[in-house]
Every structure is written in structure tokens, then in C-alpha cells.
Amino acid sequence: MQIKVFLHGSSEYKLALALRDKVLRKPLGIAFTAEELAKDINDVHIGMFEGEELIACLTLTEDGGERMKMRQVAVSDNHQRKGLGRQLSLAAEEYAVGKGREVLFCNARKTAVPFYHKLGYRITSAEFTEVTIPHYRMEKQLKRKQ
């Protein structure tokens, strides 16, 4: 398996958008809006590939200063529960540290809170609704390389 950073509009981005839609949106009966997709232009996109197949992806958004937001984490259905989300999240943390960021945060679906807890994230908000389901803001203090 290979982890790659890729650009908005690339062939890899198109695969990631399809995976995000299939895993994160269609089960909720919603679609991406033009406004949501416009936000992707300046973001960092990271994917995990098995050969040419994209099996997991996420997006990183600059939040200014020392913080970066991880969002749209998706693992294909037939690759879930194999530790790929963990590997990809750790790669995102490494990327953020390399860019000088000290905190990585996300709006985690309530069902994903245990996953993020295992990675060292902590809840920093009350429960809120986003894309029709309960979420929590979670964040992790990143360790800078010496």
C-alpha cells in the first residue's frame, strides 16, 4: 500500500471524491454542495492506494496559525476494520507536523469518537449536528520532531 498527497482536480482527487461520496454522503442520503466542493481547492488531499485502487482518503484544511483540520476521512467498505484509517490519520499527523502545525482537529461523527480516542484525540466541544448526524469536535496536540 502506498500513501500519496495529491492535488485538487487530479485523477486521484476524482477517485477520492467518489470514495467520500460513497462512504460519507450516500448513506445519509445527501450529496456534496458546490460550496462544499469549492473548499477542496486549497486543501491537502491524502490517499492510500493499493495498486491503482484508492482504498482510503482524507482532506486537510489550513485553519491558520498552528492548527490544521482533518476532514472527510473515508475508508472503502471492503477495507474497513483493517487499521487503514489509523495509518492514514498518522500520515496526516506527520504531514501537519512537517508543515509546523501543533494541533490537528476534526469534527468526528459520534460513532467515530472511539476511533479518535485510540489515536490520542480528546473531545473539545459539546455534541452538535453536522450533515444531519451527531458530531463532536476533537483535537490532538501533535509532537514536533526534534
> Domain locations in the chain?
2-141
Say if residues 88 and 3 touch (Cβ distance below 8 Å): yes
* Burial class (CB within 10 angstroms; exposed 0-12, middle 13-18, buried 19+) of 112: middle
Amino acid in position 14: K
Predicted pLDDT at 121: 96
Degrees, nearest 5: CA angle 18-81-63: 55
Degrees, nearest 5: CA angle 37-118-94: 55
The residue-averaged pLDDT of 67-95 equals: 91
| pLDDT exceeds cutoff 90 at 146 | no
Degrees, nearest 5: CA angle 113-80-20: 80
- Percent of the chain scored above 70 by pLDDT? 98
| pLDDT exceeds cutoff 70 at 145 | no
> Cell 514536533 sits at which residue?
144
Predicted pLDDT at 26: 92
Class of CATH domain 2-141? alpha beta
- Report which of residues 144 and 95 the model is more confident about: 95
| pLDDT exceeds cutoff 60 at 27 | yes
> What value does the CA radius of gyration of the chain take, rounded to a whole number of Å?
14
Q: pLDDT for 92-125, tens place per residue?
A: 999 999 999 999 999 999 999 999 999 999 999 9
Q: Which residues on adjacent β-strands are paired with residue 103?
A: 67, 141
Predicted pLDDT at 83: 83
Q: pLDDT for 28-59, tens place per residue?
A: 899 988 888 888 999 999 999 999 899 999 99
